[in-house]
Amino acid sequence: MNEPLAERVRPRKLSEYLSQTHLVGPQGALTRQIANGTVPSMIFWGPPGTGKTTLAHIIAEESGRPFFTLSAINSGVKDVREVIEKARQGGGLFTTRNPILFIDEIHRFSKSQQDSLLAAVEKGWVTLIGATTENPSFEVIPALLSRCQVYTLESFGKEDLLKLLERAMASDSQLQSREIKLEETDALLRLSGGDGRKLLNIFELVVSASPEDPVRITDKMVTDLVQNQPARYDKTGEQHYDIISAFIKSIRGSDPNAAVYWLARMVAGGEDVKFIARRMVIAASEDIGLANPTALVMANTTFQAVQAIGYPEARIILSQCAVYLATSPKSNSTYAAINKAMGAVEKSGDLPVPLPLRNAPTKLMKELGYGTNYQYAHDQPGNFADMEFLPEALSGTGFYTPGKNAREAALVEFLKSRWKDKYDFEG
The packing angle between helices 29-36 and 52-63, to 10°, is 30
- Count Cβ atoms below 10 Å from residue 148 Cβ, excluding itself: 20
Contact 367/358 with Cβ under 8 angstroms? no
Question: Between vectors from CA 321 to CA 411 and to CA 332, what angle results, nearest 5°?
Answer: 35
Q: At what angle do helices 256-268 and 273-283 cross, to 10 degrees?
A: 160
Nearest alpha-carbon partner for 320 in 298, 287, 289: 298
Q: What is the pLDDT of residue 336?
A: 94
DSSP conformation class of 277: H
pLDDT for the residue 26: 86
Buried b (16+ CB within 10 A) or exposed e, 114-138: bebbeebbeeebbbbbbbbbbebee
Give start and end residues of each alpha helix (H) in 310-391.
314-326, 333-348, 363-367
Residues 84-93: contacts with CB under 8 Å, at least 24 apart: 84/116, 84/117, 84/120, 84/125, 84/126, 87/120, 87/125, 87/126, 88/120, 88/125, 88/126, 90/66, 91/65, 91/66, 91/125, 91/126
Q: pLDDT at position 94, please?
A: 40
What is the SS3 assignment for 356? helix
What is 280-318 written as a DSSP string? Answer: HHHHIIIIIGGGSTHHHHHHHHHHHHHHHH-TTTHHHHH
Q: How many Å apart are CA 391 and CA 108, to the nearest integer?
A: 45
Question: Would you state the pLDDT for residue 202?
Answer: 92
Domains of the chain, with CATH numbers? 20-152 (3.40.50.300), 158-227 (1.10.8), 238-326 (1.20.272.10), 344-419 (no CATH)
Q: Look up residue 60 and give its amino acid.
A: A
Encoded amino acid at 187, one letter: A
What distance in Å separates the CA atoms of residue 170 and residue 412, rounded to the nearest whole number?
62
Q: What does pLDDT average to in each consecutive run of 10 residues of the chain (427 residues)?
A: 83 88 88 86 91 93 87 79 80 59 88 89 90 86 92 90 93 89 91 88 90 88 74 58 91 95 90 93 96 96 93 94 96 94 90 90 86 90 89 90 89 86 74
Residue 132 to residue 109: CA distance in whole angstroms: 11
Distances in Å between the alpha carbon of 419 and those of 187, 409, 414?
54, 15, 9
CA distance 109 to 100: 18
User: Hey, how many other C-beta atoms are within 10 angstroms of the C-beta on 322?
Assistant: 26
**Cβ 34 vs Cβ 62: under 8 Å:** yes
Give the Cα separation of 213 and 106 in Å (integer).
44
Please give the pLDDT value at position 364.
87
State residue 228's pLDDT score. Answer: 54
pTM attached to this predicted model? 0.58
Distance CA 58, CA 53 (A): 9
Q: Sign of torsion, CA 58 31 157 132?
A: positive
Which among 3, 6, 11 is positioned nearest to 195, based on CA atoms?
Answer: 6
Give the strand pairing for 100-104 and 127-132: parallel
- What separation in angstroms does the CA of 130 have from each of 88, 214, 335? 18, 42, 31
Residue 103 forms beta bridges with which residues? 70, 130
In the DSSP assignment, the letter for residue 124 is T
Question: Which 3 state secondary structure label does DSSP give 152?
Answer: strand
Say if residues 64 and 252 touch (Cβ distance below 8 Å): no
